[in-house]
Structure 1
Amino acid sequence: MKGSWCVLLALLALLSGQPAYAHKASDSYLNLEVRGQQVEGRWDIALRDLEMAVGLDGNGDGELTWDEVRGRHAAIAAYALARLKLNSDGSACPLQVTQQLVDSHTDGAYTVLMLRGSCSAAVTRLDIDYSLLADIDPQHKGLLALRHGSTTSTAIFSPEQPHQKLQLADPSAGRQFLDYLKHGVWHIWIGFDHILFLLSLLLPAVLVWRDKAWHGRDSLRGGAIEVVRIVTAFTLAHSITLTLASLGIVTLPSRLVESAIAASVIVAALNNVWPIVHRGRAWFAFGFGLLHGFGFASVLAGLGLPQDALLLSLVGFNVGVELGQLAIVAAFLPVAYLLRNGLFYRRAIMVGGSSVIALLAGVWLAERVFDLSLLA
């Protein structure tokens, strides 16, 4: 039993201690397009990551200005190009940066490197070596979308997987589905606000509110049914808005969406401390799940959807999100059920853990509403 509560406490501590970014820890977005021998692309790298790598804040005041970033353009380009190598049929395809811009993502400002390169012959397979931030951040991921004609291939680079070979022949439907499925799993696992919202709804699943107090459920079956209701409602809701937003049918300002998602985490967590909605949490999950779907869509927009397999890729991403959720539920539910009758679960985990989640989400909300940077 002691080992069980240690596992659950460690899970909550790990999640609540992560960086306060909307959907990702440290990612860069690399978009490449191949036309014959030519390679063109765009590489979005977070300024916060470049600050660690090459130093951007010249006066050390904690605020980056355009002049400070522009003054480090040469250093940024040299650092990035040294960590991205393209080869075709054994010959290098040297890249150059043609322009540097700044763009705003949901988790902050990014520098945008416009890339151009040339290979010695028409490209049929591209070998890519990616080592950005490998010596600084072991959790960093590089998200690649490689376009050739009407097809798009994707890949995820990491310090553990810095080298990949991509064929430019039309990828099979199964390959595209699996590529986006992997992206879906990855993004739910690093989408800390989504995970904490889900955990806030799951924490009471093994309890019942009776006589103005939480009590452990009599059977695992009751808790499992409650979990199924919550996860199904959340899945259905965010699948609807993810699809509508990805297809461009409905769009909302990202700042509004991210702020509302942070607020949903606060409400869900505080409801565990002062229960107002202790029945019908599935409807609660559905309502706020609609907002979270727009958040997932912003991530998918960064990856891009291949127009030749748009629906298949969208389904793959959504299935990946659900598999990532199920893995979290599978780890959480048995441990929570074992601990449900103890004061440790009902007070330290349920009340204490929910309070920590609400506090962290409050910081997220302040950051997103007022465009601040409170947590590094």
Structure 2
Amino acid sequence: MMRVLRTGLAGLSLLLAATGALAHKPSDSYLTLRGTGGSSDIAVRWDVALRDLDYVLQLDRDNNGELTWGEVRQREAEITRLATSHLALSVAGQACAWDTTAPLQLDQHSDGTYAVLSLAAHCPSLDAGLRARYSLFFDVDPSHRGLVQWIAPGGTAAQALIFGTESAEQPLALQPAGAWDTLRQYLVDGVWHIWIGYDHILFLLSLLLPAVLVRQDGRWVGAPRFGGASREVLKVVTAFTLAHSITLSLAALEIISLPSRLVESAIAASVVFAALNNLRGTIESKRWVMAFVFGLIHGFGFASVLADLGLPQGALVLALVGFNAGVELGQLAIVAVFLPLAFALRGTPFYRMGVLKAGSVLVAMLAAWWLVQRLFDL
């Protein structure tokens, strides 16, 4: 039995170590491509994370761990060359020519500072169909994605596209995106962002781990019926969903706004609290209350992702509904995998000690490190 426990703990340690580097959301870049009425030129704003550029180009020349504006500005030509060599716009196989329209600038996103490139692509007539091929950072980070807002000439509604290693080349529609296309795209975005939101996932799992157990004489024992465990899971998931849906909507509609560092720090603190509660059992039957209270904070975190992705003003409600529905579908997929497995293992010492106890300690330690990183912007 001790060998099983040690194996389980080692696996948990490796899993948490792997996610330790992902205290912030994974690597994305953001592009807005805007067609020009009466012309075949495409105006491009491209936001690329400085941390990604530094990794590839070693912008920090003095190796002091801090990037200065001077260090970034001196490498503007290399940054532009790197970017434009990994984004190809073409019409009927003919490549569009790149031109720089403004000097490099910096902008803040929810996860740090980004270099902002202002470019123009001079294309042949767009009538033959416009295509984009994106490959930035794929050679060093296969999980990197390009998040594109494409506004066709004469259009107002944006088409949202995600470029990854499996979707590196896509067409850019010359007609405005339909309602179903907008809903579908943002639904996919929502699913993806809950799956890569490790802090959100660990918070939810910390609350769900005791759902297949009950307290008897001050200790955890396996829940007698699957139905009872399912009801506990349903209460927690419903409370979390309701809470983050409220604040996601309020923040996305710019009714309420909170500082990014405060939100991200509070999310990390919520994971610590939920994990430690599994050790002390302070809140047992009211875990749904904890899910609702902290879910309000997590909603602001989802909103920051949605803000970076961009909301099409012509279809704002559809995009918001689609993204929120995607988050819920991604969340339900996680629960569907977790619940049967946890219930099957609930009566074993491995689950009670290795997963619930030791796992909660490791989650609390990891989230505490995230909290330090976010509080002090490390």
TM-score range, shorter chain: over 0.9
Which letter maps to 1:55?
Answer: Q
Moved more, 282-291 or 203-212: 203-212
What secondary structure sits across from 1:344 in the alignment?
A: helix
Change in CA separation of 1:154 and 1:234 when aligned onto 2, cut-off 3 Å? same
Within-5 A mapping of 1:73-152: 73-97=76-100, 98-122=102-126, 125-148=129-152, 149-152=155-158
Deviations 1:146-182 (A, max 9, x none): 1232111111111222111121202221111000011
What secondary structure sits across from 1:277 in the alignment?
A: coil
Q: Is the 8 A contact 2:33 2:150 kept in 1?
A: yes
Q: TM-score, normalised by structure 1?
A: 0.93
Q: Offset at 1:102?
A: 1.8
Residue 69 of structure 1 pairs with residue 75 of structure 2? no
Change in CA separation of 1:360 and 1:124 when aligned onto 2, cut-off 3 Å? farther
Q: Is the 8 A contact 2:132 2:171 kept in 1?
A: yes
Q: Is the 8 A contact 2:272 2:368 kept in 1?
A: yes
Change in CA separation of 1:223 and 1:215 when aligned onto 2, cut-off 3 Å? same
Q: Quick one: percent identity of the two aligned structures?
A: 53
Change in CA separation of 1:298 and 1:59 when aligned onto 2, cut-off 3 Å? same
Q: Is the 8 A contact 1:19 1:25 kept in 2?
A: no
Q: Which residue of 2 aligns with 1:57?
A: 60
Moved more, 21-30 or 246-255: 21-30
Q: Which of these residues, 243, 247, 254, is aligned with residue 248 of structure 1?
A: 254
Q: Offset at 1:305?
A: 1.0
Q: Which residue of 2 aligns with 1:28?
A: 29
Residue 190 of structure 1 pairs with residue 191 of structure 2? no
What secondary structure sits across from 2:192 in the alignment?
A: helix
Q: Offset at 1:297?
A: 0.5
Which letter maps to 1:63?
Answer: E
1: CA distance between counterparts of 2:26 and 2:18? Answer: 12
Q: Offset at 1:300?
A: 0.6
Which letter maps to 2:234?
Answer: V
1: CA distance between counterparts of 2:314 and 2:23? Answer: 29
Q: Is the 8 A contact 1:255 1:369 kept in 2?
A: yes
2: CA distance between counterparts of 1:214 and 1:107? Answer: 39
Which letter maps to 2:35?
Answer: V
1: CA distance between counterparts of 2:200 and 2:17? Answer: 12
Q: Is the 8 A contact 1:16 1:356 kept in 2?
A: no
Unaligned runs of 5+ residues in structure 2 are none
Which letter maps to 2:96?
Answer: C
Which letter maps to 1:171?
Answer: A
Q: Which residue of 2 aligns with 1:276?
A: 282
Moved more, 175-184 or 56-65: 56-65
Q: Offset at 1:113?
A: 1.3
Which letter maps to 2:116?
Answer: V
CA RMSD of aligned residues (A): 2.2
1: CA distance between counterparts of 2:87 and 2:8? Answer: 39
Q: Offset at 1:124?
A: 7.2
Residue 358 of structure 1 pairs with residue 359 of structure 2? no
Q: Offset at 1:123?
A: 5.8
Which letter maps to 1:365?
Answer: L
Q: Is the 8 A contact 2:12 2:359 kept in 1?
A: no
Within-5 A mapping of 1:158-177: 158-177=164-183
2: CA distance between counterparts of 1:113 and 1:188? Answer: 29
2: CA distance between counterparts of 1:6 and 1:116? Answer: 55
What secondary structure sits across from 1:278 in the alignment?
A: coil
Q: Which of these residues, 215, 231, 236, is aligned with residue 237 of structure 2?
A: 231
Deviating beyond 6 angstroms after TM superposition, the runs of 4 or more aligned structure 1 residues are 5-9
Change in CA separation of 1:123 and 1:272 when aligned onto 2, cut-off 3 Å? farther
Q: Which of these residues, 218, 225, 247, is aligned with residue 224 of structure 2?
A: 218
What secondary structure sits across from 2:88 in the alignment?
A: strand
Q: Offset at 1:14?
A: 3.2
2: CA distance between counterparts of 1:298 and 1:14? Answer: 26
Deviations 1:193-223 (A, max 9, x none): 1111111111111111222211110011111
Residue 46 of structure 1 pairs with residue 52 of structure 2? no
2: CA distance between counterparts of 1:240 and 1:228? Answer: 18
Change in CA separation of 1:82 and 1:361 when aligned onto 2, cut-off 3 Å? same
Q: Offset at 1:71?
A: 1.8
